[in-house]
Amino acid sequence: MTTIRAVTWDAAGTLIRVAGSVGLHYATRAAAHGLRAEPGALDAAFPGAFQAAVAAWAVPYGRDEVDARAFWARVVAATFAPLVVPAALQRDLFDHFARPASWEVLPGVHAAVAAVAARGLPQAVVSNFDGRLAPLLDGLGLGPFATVVTSAQVGAAKPDPAPLVAAARALGVPPMALLHVGDSRREDGGAAAAAGVRWLEVDAAIDPAVVLAAVDGGRNG
Ligand SMILES: [Mg+2]
């Protein structure tokens, strides 16, 4: 097997997650706009609303920054339905999730990123996200990353291989020398398979030793 020369990380569900619950954030911001909604009901509605938007969108998560706002507005509207979401609340929520305080770093992530950096391997983030991501990761003290590649920037979302291919190019390594760490079988596993990149599946916590073993597996195998 080819030596692993760089590591890419998915963001949501791999490096970070929403602090508390999405419904709690939605309900709290809605209350500030005079809209009353139960966090539990919003949490129950969110997954279906999100999956429906992903299925309906030409480029899920938005083909560019403007489209990213429209994508999330659709998710929010469907989550609150039949309540009608005012435009000001839509803008508020989009900005709200740009703030580090709305997110938390998953267990083991800081140690794993540091361990990969100690091996001298460059790292990047490859995420179905938009321009909010790079400052968000900075604010959470994550990195250093050589680059942060988002679907909105590339105009294609994982499982399309384009974001991973763009990251490999930016890192100056062939896709086969890349290890991508991500939590989604469909998005991360699919994109990695399509790009010819090695994929390490993780689930809501990172064990630095497992990441290093995957790096070394590529090195020695
Ligand atoms: Mg993810």
* AA letter at 128: N
Q: Distance (Å, rounded) from C-alpha 213 to C-alpha 126?
A: 21
Q: Is the pLDDT of residue 179 over 80?
A: yes
Q: What spacing in Å lies between the alpha carbon of 115 and ligand 1's midpoint?
A: 21
**Confidence at 2, pLDDT banded by 50, 70, 90:** confident
H-assigned helices in 33-183: 39-56, 65-80, 87-96, 109-118, 133-139, 151-154, 162-171
Please give the pLDDT value at position 204.
87
Q: Distance (Å, rounded) from C-alpha 134 to C-alpha 125?
A: 9
Domains of the chain: 6-17+103-220 (3.40.50.1000), 20-101 (1.10.150.720)
Q: Is the pLDDT of residue 28 over 70?
A: yes
* Rounded average pLDDT over 140-153: 97
Q: What spacing in Å lies between the alpha carbon of 98 and ligand 1's midpoint?
A: 17
The answer, yes or no, to whether the previous bond of 82 is cis (omega within 30 of 0) is yes
Q: What spacing in Å lies between the alpha carbon of 125 and ligand 1's midpoint?
A: 11
Q: What spacing in Å lies between the alpha carbon of 82 and ligand 1's midpoint?
A: 28
pLDDT in tens, 45-93: 999 999 999 999 999 999 999 999 999 999 999 999 999 999 999 999 9
Q: What spacing in Å lies between the alpha carbon of 34 and ligand 1's midpoint?
A: 32
Please give the pLDDT value at position 220.
56
Helix (H, G, I), strand (E, B) or coil at 140: coil
Please give the pLDDT value at position 64.
95
On whether the pTM is more than 0.85, the answer is yes
Please give the pLDDT value at position 106.
98
pLDDT in tens, 100-127: 999 999 999 999 999 999 999 999 999 9
* Rounded average pLDDT over 207-219: 91
Q: Distance (Å, rounded) from C-alpha 87 to C-alpha 73?
A: 9
Q: Distance (Å, rounded) from C-alpha 206 to C-alpha 1?
A: 23
Please give the pLDDT value at position 10.
98
Residue whose tokens read 């050589």: 146
Q: Which residues are close to ligand 1, an ion, with C-beta < 5 A?
A: 10, 12-13, 183-184
* AA letter at 118: A
Please give the pLDDT value at position 221.
46
